[in-house]
Amino acid sequence: MFRYSKSILVLLTTATMMAACKTEMIDRVPPATELENGAYMRTISINPSNQQMSVANAAAQISYEIEAVDNQQGGLLQSYDLQIRFVDRTPSNGTNNVAYRNFRSIPASAFSRHPVSGLPRHTMVVRLSEALQALGLQASQVAATDLIEIDATIRLTNGRAFNARNTGVNITTGGPYYNSPFFYRITLIP
């Protein structure tokens, strides 16, 4: 009898352990090409790298080499839309803050495929004269230490749009690879 009790106990223990290890079916993970992903605009280079423009130089400009990245090798790019604002940090010449305004929309057609990466690239140039015109400011209303800030949104052909407010921190501050802040801050210098 003791042998049968011991066998029944082992059988019940085994059955209980097997029931506890039951796994449910898990859906397969789709291939990367089927996953819905976002997009970002990688900043390849900035010239000058300190993002400073002289208020004394009417021809002052900064150029940004940018590259569109999505799961279609940049094929979803529709446009890169820029808004601009002015932050007045020198009240001695008046308080001239200007809220965000539309600045420029760069269409996908302005980009060309880079021979190494195969992704669409464009050199985005921001001229001081164009920025002031878009902001409705005169040169006398800006001074050294003031800021021009540009907020960007990448728009896709599938209707989606990405910017600093709906993009993860890994993309916006993810180091030199992603380098996609969707935001550019230009400091004015003498």
pLDDT digits (tens, 9 = 90+) for 122-141: 999 999 999 999 999 999 99
Strands, DSSP E only, in 88-182? 98-107, 112-113, 120-127, 147-156, 161-163
| pTM for the predicted model, two decimal places | 0.78
Give me the architecture of the 37-189 domain, per CATH.
Sandwich (2.60)
- At residue 169 the predicted structure's pLDDT band, cuts being 50, 70 and 90, is confident
pLDDT of residue 93: 87
Alpha-carbon distance of 171 to 183, in angstroms, equals 12
pLDDT digits (tens, 9 = 90+) for 14-50: 666 666 665 555 445 444 445 467 899 999 999 999 9
Question: What residues does 52 pair with on adjacent strands?
Answer: 187
Alpha-carbon distance of 50 to 69, in angstroms, equals 24
Q: Measuring CA to CA, which residue among 170, 184, 154, 183 is closest to residue 41?
A: 154
